Amino acid sequence: MKLSTWILRSLLTGAVAALALPACGSDSGTPTTTKTDAGGDTASSDTATGPTKWCGKYADEAAAVAGDDQLTPAKGLFLAVQAAPFGGMQLFFKANVVGHKNADGSAAIKLISLRAVSGKTKEVSGIMAAACDVAVAKDGSFKIDFGNVVLPALGSPTDTDVKLSLVMTGKYTGLNTFCGDLEGDVPDFGVKLTGSKFKAVEFGSQTEPPESSCEGNTAKIYAGIGTCPALLAGENTVTSAERSRTFIVQLPKDVSDVSGLPVIFLYHGVGGEPGSMIDDSFLTAEQKKTPFILIAPRSERNDLGTAVLKSDWYYASPLFKNDNPDLVFFDDLVKCAGAQYKFDTKRIYVTGMSGGGLMSTFLGIHKRDVVAAATPFSGGYLQAWPSKSGNVPYVVSWGGADDFAYEQNFDKMAAGLIDSLKGSGHVVVACNHGTKHKWPVEGGAYAAKFLLAHKYGEPSPFATSLGEGWPSYCTLQK
């Protein structure tokens, strides 16, 4: 009998306290990668790292199967995680379970192994973590401590290895289904996974997007702002998506009437502030040359003034419409600033650095019906590329092979973004300034040059040639 079958039956017999759970994590070896369709069984070279890797007992799942013990189910489980500190960012895994029933009606998982599943390509990695001898109570509850593991680049939204510790506290809720709460640490980001959740279902039966909590796919839909407050040059506050949000408006000096001017939205990076982002972008100098309105939002903050998300913005969230607070905030800013300053609605632009580069990339894709052009610096797109990404022109700028932040490789993210944009027909200019993770001094000049040249719905003036005045490291991608 399959493990999940008798667990389901035991759920009907009543609840008992969960047993103490000895567990072991994978603390040695390098995860292997197999480029196999995620729906099928995956053969890999995991045994090359030696049998002691898997709890000191098993070389792989097959070695754990003996007598009446069975893999449950044959195709494995699809395990989806939502990481609360990153706006509900989803991570995907393939879990294989080998277990048996105890004489007292409880259960034991002899071996559970995790493989990462790419959210972009659906490829499956080799085994990245394993735990053994996990007790399952009669009511189906359990706790699994995988210890310190490494999420391989294949399964990471940033295409870079990420160190993690994972502790799953859950309960079987049906045939081949369990869900619960996730704890642990992400040391490179200095953040705990408190508040994160997971759900596992039989591989191939997952929804799209996959459910990653016991509650399923539930997201609040926010209405846009009703009444706009009067805005001032400098710091402003509005209530957007039921949150108090702040932003800076910088108007061009010596311009008495700003109506009809373009507007640039500038997004700061993780741990940043809009004021310092304005200074670091060198856009004030460009504003003096060619007048435009500059709006620099601040990421969502708690009562102590600390960013609510470790990512600062909701670009890692699987929410792409009025369920995403930052997309609603952008819409509200366009509405309120547009009503007061009467800017040119065909000349709305987005830019930003690092986390702000990721956010401006995200806006160019998901607000493609509003944004005329985008210039992310050290940005990228962390989701599976959408079937419809629009035709917003992009300048993708980054600092070369040494462009790292929080141990994440922005060189790889830039390359992936450029390939995706080119493949979808966007006009793309690639600017590898080679000065690591920073906004280059000349960045404001070429960002403004590119942005201000575009009008929504009209062909890009850089579709065939960049012309004069560009840094030598910028090239039109064809």
Q: What is the DSSP string of 254-315?
A: T-S--TT--EEEEE--TT--HHHHHHHHTHHHHHHHS--EEEEE---B-TTS-BSSTTSSGG
> Which is nearest to 434 in space by CA: 451, 449, 417, 414?
414
b (16+ CB within 10 A) / e for 377-410: bbbbbbbeeeeebeebbbbbbbbeeebebbebbb
Angstrom distance (rounded) from CA 6 to CA 176: 10
Q: Mind listing the pLDDT tens digit of every residue in the chain (478 residues)?
A: 444 444 444 433 332 222 223 334 433 333 333 333 333 333 333 433 333 456 777 777 778 887 778 777 888 999 999 999 999 999 999 999 998 888 888 888 999 999 999 999 999 999 999 999 999 999 999 999 999 999 999 999 999 999 999 999 999 998 789 999 999 999 999 999 999 999 999 999 999 989 999 999 889 999 999 999 999 999 999 999 999 999 999 999 999 999 999 999 999 999 999 999 999 999 999 999 999 999 999 999 999 999 999 999 999 999 999 999 999 999 999 999 999 999 999 999 999 999 999 999 999 999 999 999 999 999 999 999 999 999 999 999 999 999 999 999 999 999 999 999 999 999 999 999 999 999 999 999 999 999 999 999 999 999 999 999 999 999 999 9
- Amino acid 39: pLDDT: 36
Indicate the CATH number for domain 234-477.
3.40.50.1820
Q: How many CB atoms lie within 10 A of CB 58?
A: 21
Angstrom distance (rounded) from CA 314 to CA 322: 12
Domain coordinates in residue numbering, the chain: 3-202, 234-477
Angstrom distance (rounded) from CA 81 to CA 156: 12
Count CA within 13 A, CB hemisphere, residue 436: 5
Residue 359: its H or E element: helix 355-366
- Amino acid 53: pLDDT: 52
